[in-house]
Amino acid sequence: MSEIDNNQSGDTRRDFLKKTSLFTALSLTPLTVLKAADNKVDERFAELFEKIPLNLKVNNKPYVLKVEPRVTLLDLLREQLHLTGTKKGCDHGQCGACTVHVDGERVNSCLSLAVMNEGKSITTIEGLAKGDELHPMQAAFIKHDGFQCGYCTPGQIMSGIACIREGHANSKEEIREYMSGNICRCGAYPNIVDAIQEVKEKGATI
């Protein structure tokens, strides 16, 4: 088990700003409000500062964390676990850049509250390669030039793997339909479809 707070040798600028603003908010909040037990409204206000325990696995590594309820799985991965391979595109479930696997199924991590993933196993783009050996889908994207700027690529790759596992990669047409939740503004779609189709046709377990 790893305590994520112990993982950091030093705070990033982003962490520093977050912590100082939280301390400011706390210092401005009268102690009576934070401790209030009788008044329902005050009780709620105090609870807003509460973090909720969260146990999950990310890329087979167990984590014991505490998060605010409003933190999305995407923000947890990027800002607390520093797994920045998963990208924030639209942040509203429309582009697919944030696609990860939760218990093997592809989801938009931007629309998933982290606390709702208690006990689940998350796989991100960082969890695909075995050491220096790329995952077959990663290798196929390079071979077929399945990207230009690369920003949507982690989401495309996670989604492409799931597309094959779900059994929805039997033709170019079907791949396009079942990859429609992943937008590529550079327009690398034909090469993305080629990459997925090749991995599917090679038939390896992925």
Nearest CB to another protein, comparing residues 46 and 139? 46
Nearest Cα to Cα of residue 115 among 76, 173, 162: 76
Amino acid occupying residue 137 = M
Strand partners, 67: 52
Least distance between another protein and beta carbon 9 (Å):
29
Report if residue 177 touches another protein, rule: CB under 8 A.
Answer: yes
Under the criterion CB under 8 A, does residue 25 sit at the interface with another protein? no
**Nearest of 197, 63, 60 to residue 130 by alpha carbon:** 60
Query: x/- contact string, 61-90, with another protein (CB under 8 A)?
Result: -------xxx-x------------------
> Is residue 107 part of the contact set for another protein (CB under 8 A)?
yes
Number of residues in contact with another protein under rule CB under 8 A: 35
CA 37 from chain center: how many Å? 37
The three-state secondary structure class of 129 is coil
Overall size of the chain counted in residues: 206
Determine, following the binding rule CB under 8 A, whether residue 187 of this chain makes contact with another protein.
no
- Spatial separation of the C-alpha atoms in residues 74 and 131, rounded to whole Å: 24
What are the residues binding another protein (CB under 8 A)?
44, 47-48, 52, 68-70, 72, 91-93, 96, 99, 105-108, 111-113, 115-116, 118, 159, 162-163, 166, 168, 176-182
